[in-house]
Amino acid sequence: MRGVPASRLAAVLVLLAVLCMGQSAAFASEIRIGEINPLTGKLANHGQEIHLGIQAAVDEANEAGGIEGRKVALLTRDDQSRPEVAVSQAEDLILRQKVAALVGGYVDSLVGPLSQLALRHEIPYVASASLQTHLTREGNNPYFFRISHLSGLVEPLCGFVTEALQARSAALLHAATPGATELSRELFKCLKKAGADLPLVEKFQPGTPDFSPFVLKLKASPPDVLLVAGFFQDHLILARQIRELGAPIKAYIGPWGVAYPSFVQEMGRAAEHLFGLSAWNPGMAVPGTEEASDAFTERFRRVYKKEPTTTVMHGYTSARVLLHAVGRVLREGRPLRGSEIARALRTIDLLLPMERVAFDTKGDPLHYRQVVVQIQDGALVPVYPPERAQGTWIYPMAPAASNP
Amino acid sequence: MWFQLLLNTLSLGSFYALVALGFSLIFGVTHTFNLAHGELIVLSGYMAYGLSKAWQAPFALTLPLCMAAMACLGQVLLALVRRIREPFELSSLVFTFGLALVIQNAMLFLFTADYRRIPASGKPLRLTADLIVTRNQLWLIGLSLAATALVYLMLRKTFLGMALRAVIQEREAARLAGIRVERMNRIAFAVGGALIGLAGPLFGQNAYLHPAGGMEATLIAVVITLFAGTGRIRGLLAGAWLLALLESAAALWLGSNWRELVSAGILIALLMWKPEGLLARKKPAPEL
């Protein structure tokens, strides 16, 4: 057998060395951020929205010359809406790709395991959409931050039902998921405390194809308000069946999944007067950020040829916060280590179109508050709290027969 | 309230039956355990959605178009299934699972991850002060009865049906009796495909369309087929109505979260004590 000539072997080795050095140089010069989102599977619609928001923030930073002159490389991974895939993808990003931090995530069943992984590897993780209280309150995880939390939904929702609508009775229906169950429990406590009667509280498995038995119960003893902690697809079925079967409720409130232009588009007239929650929408920014909000909306529409939503803005906000913290570490001349980025995140105070972002000692946002919106003539109109309202609510909603 | 519950149950059961008909026929004749069944239904739903959005095609017109398209696609599926080696049942299960993932991702690419819904066919009709029937319910009940009757008559009253039933009952014996089993496979996939095509637009109108939404439809089809027994077309409709009644009753009296537990419990019990299907007669002992 003839051996490989030594000169050729040396040339190959030199080439490999040059490539490795080049890659190491690229690794050193760029800031590598890992993103994990449900891009396929059941949660793909919102996962892709969050991804676009994160991408928009990274593109914006790179177009402005990078962070302290260094380009940001976004490494995106799909968790397929499955927790075990989310963990393996995150491990790949941390161990093999050596990312400086993680961002993204939708629903607590996917975010929760990643928060523990972040703690184990001492890598900061800024979750785009997470609610469950125990994720931040139990134990001590200095590497986990999130830009949303449950009280940001419960407080405006409870205030709206009890103070604004002055509803005397409410029914609660929630999906059997951790976040929806906790939201329902907190709403129950809050409404009970306010003296509301709660004759009907039920949960359902996500993916239920028929809610008509529940609607019949609503018809038998109709509450003033129906609160549904379900998702976009659940509202598509339930809201339609309520309209069709003529359940005489005065208000239908879906904290998630209702306040979207795509929901209005799919439901048509049957979406009229339904209430939802939204942290941001085009034209509905935190006071003082209107200009930045409009600029983001205009740029997003132009670049991505889509309408930005509250979920897009959650992704954008989480990435902006993380990049801001990374920038601060670099400006202070500190090494870009997980502990340094986490320290910078803890002291952040940044006014963005969705919220003023500052974290408490547990990594929860201090100023996250959603706004109650109502679908009126196909538009999402903010109606509560008064300081963010752009219109008045219609209550009771139009009778079912007029909205097939 | 009780009449309304009965009507809703009837329509839900009809929905289940329509979803399961194509699966049951294909599984009965060809022994292909088609895990991509739900994805094909969703694909058919997307076709109807596209037709109604792009060309404002009326709902009634989307039905035959989707049926024809899916009958053709059924032949493509058969061509792929033919290449599967023994053990056929297990291999077809794995193959169609992979196919389901491929179709899901193709739909994600073509139709995005947004949830879609085919609009209702018109305003609900008030029959009495307490009884409302929607146009969707009328479509479901009418079409499930018509489809079940047609498939039943085909199986019971024609020579073709007799041959198909022979293949369902004993494949090898049918072959020995001179029945062209391959031809029966083609017919089963064509008719089954057309039934899938019929179910798709109704699925999109009564539930929703999403690339990952096929799994629910597949589960419904599997449960109803096992519930009724393979190849029992009338039993399929009766089984679907019965299951819908049990689920609705559980949701009404015990709570919405009991619905799935009821169907899961029935399925487990059935597999343990009556695996040939609740509505199937026991095969008589072979005569010597």
Convert the pLDDT of each residue in A134-169 to its tens digit: 888 888 899 999 999 999 999 999 999 999 999 999
State how far residue B1 is from chain A, nearest Cα, in angstroms: 7
Cβ-Cβ pairs closer than 8 A, A with B, add up to: 111
Domain ranges for chain A:
22-148+287-357, 152-278+371-402
Cα Rg, chain B, nearest whole Å: 19
Name beta bridge partners: B116: B209
Give the residue-averaged pLDDT of A267-281. 94
Beta-sheet pairing, A225-229 with A350-351: unpaired
Contact A209 B8 (CB under 8 A): no
Give pLDDT, residue A8.
66
Give pLDDT, residue B277.
72
Name beta bridge partners: A365: A359
> Testing the interface with A: which of B2, B3, B110, B114 to mutate, by most A Cβ within 10 A?
B114
Of A203, A207, A237, the CB nearest to B257: A203
Q: What's the one-letter identity of residue A88?
A: S
Are the C-beta atoms of A36 and A102 separated by less than 8 Å? yes
Contact B252 A217 (CB under 8 A): yes
Chain A contact set for B114 (CB, 8 A): 45, 262
Q: Helix, strand, coil shares of chain B as percentages rounded to 5?
A: 75, 0, 25
Which B-chain residues 189-228 have CB contacts (< 8 A) with chain A? 206-208, 210-213, 216, 220
Buried b (16+ CB within 10 A) or exposed e, B246-282: bbbbbbbeebbbbbbebbeebbeebeeeeeebbbbee
Indicate if the pLDDT at residue A374 is higher than 70: yes
Cβ neighbours of residue A216 under 8 Å, at least 6 residues apart? A245, B1, B4, B5, B8, B252
Of B5, B120, B210, the CB nearest to A213: B5
Q: Is A230 on the interface with B (CB under 8 A)?
A: no
Give pLDDT, residue B287.
41
CATH number (domain holding residue B63): 1.10.3470
Check for a shared fold between A22-148+287-357 and A152-278+371-402.
Answer: yes
State how far residue B235 is from chain A, nearest Cα, in angstroms: 22
Q: What is the pLDDT of residues A43-66, one digit of tens each?
A: 999 999 999 999 999 999 999 999
Q: Give, in order, the Cα–Cα distances in Å from A396 to each of A244, A249, A267.
A: 17, 8, 19
Give chain B's mean pLDDT: 88
Contact A205 B4 (CB under 8 A): no
Give pLDDT, residue A166.
93
Give pLDDT, residue A5.
63
Q: Is A237 on the interface with B (CB under 8 A)?
A: yes
Buried b (16+ CB within 10 A) or exposed e, A113-125: bbbbbbbebebbb
> Testing the interface with A: which of B117, B205, B215 to mutate, by most A Cβ within 10 A?
B117
State how far residue A269 is from chain B, nearest Cα, in angstroms: 10
The single residue listed with the structure tokens 């690229």 is A26
Give pLDDT, residue A344.
96
Of B134, B210, B256, the CB nearest to A244: B134
Cβ neighbours of residue A100 under 8 Å, at least 6 residues apart? A31, A32, A33, A123, A326, A336, A338, A341
Question: Of the spans A86-100, A203-217, B148-162, which averages the highest pLDDT?
Answer: A86-100
Cβ neighbours of residue B202 under 8 Å, at least 6 residues apart? B15, B18, B136, B139, B140, B143
SS3 B84: coil
Please give the residue of chain A at the shortest CA–CA distance from B249.
A213
Q: What is the CATH number of domain A152-278+371-402?
A: 3.40.50.2300
Tell me A365's DSSP state. B
Angle between helix A310-331 and helix A338-346 axes, rounded to 10 deg: 110
State how far residue B116 is from chain A, nearest Cα, in angstroms: 6
Contact B114 A262 (CB under 8 A): yes
Q: Is A312 on the interface with B (CB under 8 A)?
A: no
The single residue listed with the structure tokens 């931040």 is A136
CA–CA separation, A188 vs A143, rounded Å?
A: 32
Of A81, A216, A401, the CB nearest to B1: A216
Are the C-beta atoms of B152 and B228 separated by less than 8 Å? no
Contact A245 B4 (CB under 8 A): yes
Give pLDDT, residue A207.
80
Give pLDDT, residue B31.
86
Q: What is the pLDDT of residues A348-365, one digit of tens each?
A: 999 999 999 999 999 999
Contact B212 A40 (CB under 8 A): yes
Of B212, B247, B251, the CB nearest to A42: B212
> Testing the interface with A: which of B52, B140, B208, B224 to mutate, by most A Cβ within 10 A?
B208
Cβ neighbours of residue A63 under 8 Å, at least 6 residues apart? none
Give pLDDT, residue A170.
95
Name beta bridge partners: A252: A226
Whether ipTM > 0.90 holds is no
Q: How confident is the model at residue A28 (pLDDT cuts 50, 70, 90)?
A: low
| Pairs from B120-126 (Cβ < 8 Å, separation ≥ 24) | B120/A240, B120/A244, B120/A270, B120/A404, B120/B205, B121/B59, B121/B205, B122/A404, B123/A401, B123/A404, B124/A244, B124/A245, B124/A246, B124/A404
> Which residues of chain B fall short of a pLDDT of 70?
231, 278-288
Contact A40 B132 (CB under 8 A): no
Global confidence as pTM: 0.87
A237, A140, A94: which is closest to B210 by C-alpha? A237
CA–CA separation, A67 vs A57, rounded Å?
A: 12
C-beta neighbour count of B167 within 10 angstroms: 25
Contact B115 A266 (CB under 8 A): yes
Give pLDDT, residue B280.
64
CA–CA separation, B191 vs B243, rounded Å?
A: 25
Beta-sheet pairing, A31-37 with A72-78: parallel
Q: Is B127 on the interface with A (CB under 8 A)?
A: no
Give pLDDT, residue B128.
84
Q: What is the CATH number of domain A22-148+287-357?
A: 3.40.50.2300
- Is the residue at B256 inside a domain? yes
Domain assignment of residue B172, given as a range? 2-273
Give pLDDT, residue B288.
38
C-beta neighbour count of A97 within 10 angstroms: 13
Indicate if the pLDDT at residue A404 is higher than 70: no
Q: Is A261 on the interface with B (CB under 8 A)?
A: no
- Is the residue at B155 inside a domain? yes
Give pLDDT, residue B274.
79
